Amino acid sequence: MKLKKTLERLQKLHPKEIDLSLNRIQNLCKKLGNPQDNLNCIQVAGTNGKYSTIQALRAILNDAGIKCNIYTSPHIQKINERFVYNDKELDDENLSRLLNEVEEVNAGEEITFFEILTAAFFHGCKKYQKNLTICEFGLFARFDAVNILKKNLATIITTIGLDHLDWLPENEKTIDRIIFEKTSSLLKSNIIVSKQIDNKIQDKIKKSLEYNKSKKIFFNDLYSYTLGENNFFYYEDEFGGLKLPLPNLNGEFQLSNVATAIATIRNIKNLNVSDENIKKGITSIQSIARLQEIKNGRLKKLCLNNKLFVDGSHNPLGAIVLNNFINKIHGNVHIILGMMNNKNHKDYISYFKNISSLTTIDIPNQPNAIKGAELKNKLNYIQNINYKNSIEEALKSLSLSKDDVVLITGSLYLAGEVLNLN
């Protein structure tokens, strides 16, 4: 209850949820002694794959005995997920104490919720400055609150695609503008660029980074991977090759995120991570709401004899990789879909081929979500589309055969509700 009241106060410090500027967080961090200036940090930007790449980094580093502080956004089930120090989430009491300290220093100044959370994370890192810190860039990296560091160990750029277009000017809702926002103000250290959806996007990223003096490690230029038979894949870079076991992540697309994490670690000097740490680490990656199979729990009981997956994807890039996963499933695929109001719903669902049924639902506790009935009406050209007002009702309504698979997708907020409910 104490934490909840603190969060409610912090949400009232600015009239807008997002106000793209760095001035407010810079001022607050200055009052806090600029804790961000003393971090050994890896920053992760991009549209998709940030979370999985971070979890791959974390698993490998942990196997090497390297402690991590981690900042990600949004959280899936509870806000504590955003505050990881020494590889552990802060509990409610300590998180409330941390936020109250920063709130007191802020002294009622106007600041967005995300900005004060970010300042609090940096402030909390003071106790763990020797740890390696991993920070995710949200929305557009150029004006993201995380982008106030003066130095870092590396910047990762995961796959870039169209998303959050409602924050761009009407005549600039393009991939070029998004690439500019995410890459034009990166620090000069190491920049590792993940596999992109096509060569055109990679070429645009290269052009955007043309004058950045960092060492630039592009997929297929300085590192690559190939999928082998018998449950292994082969990774190769300028330092040599590695025959690796498949990571414990669903979907071939995750190999790109894992390979990018490996490339990053091998390009940071003095980390003391062995090949064996990499091999062991990638088999212990913990990733929630990213093609996560639900194997037990309340919702699983509603489809005991079928595989149930939840995935938080909500943009075209996510839909493309999910469809590739679906196409390799032998049984019928039934999708339960809930989305936020500001997404391109028709565009997202257009990437899914060969699905047996689509059930739209309301996302609980999310006033900015599109109502499931309205979503159904928008997608009424799709055969076998239905609407149910809850996740449980949607699962109960499905007519499932032996090898059929259920996929709940469309929003990270929906994924969080699914996991909490389960």
Contact assessment for residue 134 and residue 149, using Cβ atoms and an 8 Å cutoff: no
Q: How many CB atoms lie within 10 A of CB 296?
A: 10
Residue 179 lies in a domain: yes
Same domain, 115 and 196: yes
Looking at 247, 281, 315, which one is the last position of a domain?
Answer: 281
Q: Are 313 and 409 in contact (CB under 8 A)?
A: yes
pLDDT at position 167 is 63
- What residues contact residue 348 under an 8 Å CB cut-off, 6+ apart? 314, 315, 316, 318, 319, 339, 410
Domain assignment present for residue 50? The answer is yes
User: Residue 137 and residue 156: Cα distance in Å, rounded?
Assistant: 10
Q: What pLDDT score does 166 carry?
A: 67
| 96 and 234 housed in the same domain | yes
Half-sphere exposure (Cβ direction) of 362: Cα atoms closer than 13 Å: 10
Task: State the Cα–Cα distance between residues 184 and 179, nearest whole angstrom.
Answer: 8
In a shared domain, residues 70 and 157: yes
State how many domains the chain has. Answer: 2
Q: Choose one of 281, 305, 335: the last residue of a domain.
A: 281
Domain-ending residue, one of 233, 260, 281: 281
Same domain, 271 and 296: no
Q: Do 161 and 69 share a domain, yes or no?
A: yes
In a domain, 380, yes or no: yes
Assess whether 189 and 329 both reside in one domain. Answer: no
Asked if residue 310 belongs to a domain, the reply is yes
In a domain, 287, yes or no: no
- Sign of the CA dihedral with 168 first, then 169, 174, and 175 last: negative
**37 plus 172 within the same structural domain:** yes
**CATH at residue 315:** 3.90.190.20
Report pLDDT digits (tens) over 114-125. Answer: 999 999 999 999
12 and 102, same structural domain?
Answer: yes
Check whether residue 269 and residue 308 sit in a common domain: no
Cα–Cα distance measured from residue 252 to residue 233, given in angstroms and rounded to the nearest whole number:
10
The answer to whether residue 215 sits within a structural domain is yes
One domain for residues 231 and 302: no
Q: What is the CATH number of the domain that holds 261?
A: 3.40.1190.10
Please indicate, yes or no, if residue 58 is contained in any of the structural domains: yes
In sequence order, the 6+-apart residues with CB closer than 8 A to the CB of 193 are: 157, 202, 205, 216, 217, 218, 219
- Do 343 and 275 fall into the same domain? no
Identify the pLDDT of residue 19: 80
- Alpha-carbon gap, residue 121 to 331, rounded angstroms: 45
Establish if 286 belongs to a structural domain.
Answer: no
CA dist., res. 305 & res. 315, Å (int): 30
| Domain encompassing residue 34 | 2-281
pLDDT of residue 21: 85
Please tell me the predicted confidence (pLDDT) of residue 254.
95
CA distance 385 to 126: 52
Which residues of the chain fall below pLDDT 50?
none
| Same-domain status, 64 and 23 | yes
